[in-house]
Amino acid sequence: MHKYLPHTPKDIKEMLKVIGRDSIDDLFGAIPKSLRLKTPYNIPSALSDDNLTKHMLGLSKKNQELVIFRGAGAYDHYTPSVVKSLISRQEFLTSYTPYQPEVAQGTLQYIFEYQSMICELTGMEVSNASMYDGATSTAEAMFMANAQTGKDTILVSETVNPRIIEVVKTYARYRKIIVVVVPSQDGLTDLSFIQNFNEEPMGLIVQNPNYHGIIENYDGFADAIHAKGGLFIMNHEPQSLAILKTPGEYQADIACGDLQSLGIPLSFGGAYGGYLTTLMKYVRKMPGRICGITNDVDGKRAFVLTLQAREQHIRRAKANSNICSNQSLMALAVTIYLSAMGKQGLIDVANESMKGAHYLYEALLKTNQFEKVNDHPFFKEFVLKAKFDVDAFEKSCLDDGILGPLHLKDQMLLFAVTERRTQAEMDELISKVVEQQ
């Protein structure tokens, strides 16, 4: 039997008759015509194995391999071959919910290992089985704060990635949650705004390193938001946790973020994975699942789902979240990456990224084509103000196979450097800057 059974014209006709439609196009009547494809795709008919291979190779040659100096939440880190090899095994390709633990011990074990590693990395007490991505995990952290406190106002630092703020606002809208953006002072979250905020918010969301790459010092923030009865939520870039102060050390109540920098390639924007960790006292408000370890009737080690209070198991209206599935295949990739790198490997990669970023920062300033924006410490991203035509610069870089920095506004450019960037590549970017004189 085929894995996938195509419908014959007779099948389609009979199904349309049952649902009272004349054609398949009628099924898409709700989609505005302005959004529909005007010209159908020219999909070739069946090809032989050899011709199909040639066709796919021809398509792949249209891709342009770029040297990337852009981040803003998605980074060109190295993915070890072992990650690609292991997640390509067929038993993992349809990785989903292990509803039958007796036949899903492998899946449950790697989720358990994933949770353990993420807790160790963040300094938090408990992790769920992963989320879709960093933006949705941040929005879900907001829902946790809402469920825990019963309040309807959330504070979000202006230094959080604007794409994440947009997702938080979208989620908040349909729960009638009020989002208040905390202003920044000289690129840093304004603690005094939080201390002087008149209402009692459900929590505060901050990011470290922040959107501009700055490593913020969040000492005192937990006390400030706790004094108002709210929870302290930190979105933290996970690679930096190898060398920076953890959310646990900052007394965060919830830590979340994107896992992309831990062995997940860019892949045209996904699929990524998100992590969500918290303190044990808030575990009942955590969305998704938690895997645990126990002993079976024979006294042997066994892995089980210890918490799965999701909408499929309880009344939908009482569910803390409707996030549904975790990104289990991405969690597996992260688990393999962390296992392969080890503690010292993570530290080395983080240091290489930071060292490269600081080399490029100093070299760019020496060209006299940039102005400093601030003197704050940074990890692998930084902002400089350009004195030249940034659009012309970006085009010049692309012509030479370089994806340059992200243009924010007012001549501000956001650069990113990972361990993959060699000194020769950085020197080439610097020469492109010199050409702008």
DSSP reduced 3-state for 7: coil
DSSP 6: P
Domain 67-77+342-434 part of CATH 2.60.120.10: no
Q: Per-residue pLDDT for 277 more than 90?
A: yes
CB atoms under 10 Å from CB of 149, counted, come to: 19
pTM of this structure: 0.88
CA 308 to chain centre: 23
On the question of pLDDT at 384 being above 90, the answer is yes
- What would the mean pLDDT of 107-112 be, rounded to a whole number? 90
Give the pLDDT confidence score for residue 38 in this predicted structure: 83
Report which of residues 64 and 238 the model is more confident about. 238
At 125-141, the pLDDT tens digits run 999 989 999 999 999 99
Q: According to the model, what pLDDT value does residue 321 have?
A: 75
Collect all residues with Cβ–Cβ distance below 8 Å to 146 and sequence separation of at least 6.
152, 154, 175, 177, 202
Rg for the chain, CA atoms, rounded = 24
Within 8 A by CB and 6+ apart from 62, the residues are: none
Q: Which amino acid is at 2?
A: H
Q: Mind listing the pLDDT tens digit for each residue in 230-274?
A: 999 999 999 999 999 999 999 999 999 999 999 999 988 888 999
Q: Which residues pair with 233 in a beta bridge?
A: 205, 254
pLDDT of residue 316: 67
Q: Report the C-alpha gap between 370 and 411 in whole angstroms.
A: 10
Largest CA distance in the chain: 75
What's the distance, CA 45 to chain centroid? Answer: 38
Q: Is the pLDDT of residue 95 over 60?
A: no
Paired tokens of 387: 């004195």
For residue 437, pLDDT over 80 is answered with no
Q: Is 155 helix (H, G, I), strand (E, B) or coil?
A: strand
Per-residue pLDDT at 314 exceeds 70: no
φ/ψ of 89, rounded to 5, equals -65, 140
- Among 328, 267, 284, smallest CA distance to 131 is for 328
Q: How large is the average pLDDT for residues 411-427?
A: 97
Whole-number Å distance between alpha carbons of 133 and 274:
4
Give the mean pLDDT of 71-94.
89
Mean pLDDT of 186-206: 97
CATH class of 81-337: alpha beta
Beta bridge partners of 294: 302
Tell me the residue type at 225.
I
Residue-averaged pLDDT of the chain: 92
pLDDT tops 70 at residue 97: no
Q: pLDDT value at position 4?
A: 67
What stretches of 299-389 show up as alpha helix (H) in DSSP? 328-366
Q: Identify whether 242 is preceded by a cis peptide bond (ω within 30 of 0).
A: no
Would you give the DSSP letter of residue 79? Answer: -
Question: Across-strand partners of 301?
Answer: 295
- Looking at the chain, the whole-number percentage of residues with pLDDT higher than 70 is 95
Closest CA to 214 of 410, 374, 386, 417: 374
At 326, the pLDDT band (50, 70, 90 cuts) reads: low
Instruction: Please enumerate in sequence order all residues whose Cβ is within 8 A of that of 325, keeping only pairs 6 or more positions apart, or say none.
Output: 96, 97
How far apart, in whole angstroms, are the C-alpha atoms of residue 41 and residue 29? 19
Burial 167-182 (b: 16+ CB within 10 A, else e): bbeebbeeeebebeeb
The pLDDT value given to residue 104: 80
Q: Is the pLDDT of residue 323 over 80?
A: no
From CA 74, how far away is CA 258, in angstroms rounded? 9
For residues 177-198, average pLDDT = 97
Flag whether pLDDT at 315 surpasses 90. Answer: no
Share of the chain above pLDDT 90, in %: 76
Q: Where are the domains of the chain?
A: 67-77+342-434, 81-337
Bridge partners for 256 per DSSP: 235, 276
pLDDT of res. 103: 75
Rounded to whole angstroms, the Cα distance separating 401 from 67 reads 6
- 343-372, pLDDT tens digit by residue? 999 999 999 999 999 999 999 999 999 999
Task: Give the per-residue pLDDT at 324.
Answer: 61
What pLDDT is stored for residue 3 in this prediction?
Answer: 62
Assess whether pLDDT exceeds 90 at residue 29. Answer: no
Residue 110: which H helix or E strand, with range?
helix 105-122
**Residue 337: which of 198, 238, 210 has the closest Cα?**
238
Please name the residues in contact with 69: beta carbons below 8 A apart, sequence gap of 6 or more.
360, 402, 403, 404, 405, 415, 416, 417, 421, 429
pLDDT category at 306 given cuts 50, 70, 90 is confident
Q: What is the amino acid identity at position 243?
A: I
Alpha carbon separation from 205 to 54, 231, 370, 420 (Å, rounded): 50, 9, 32, 31
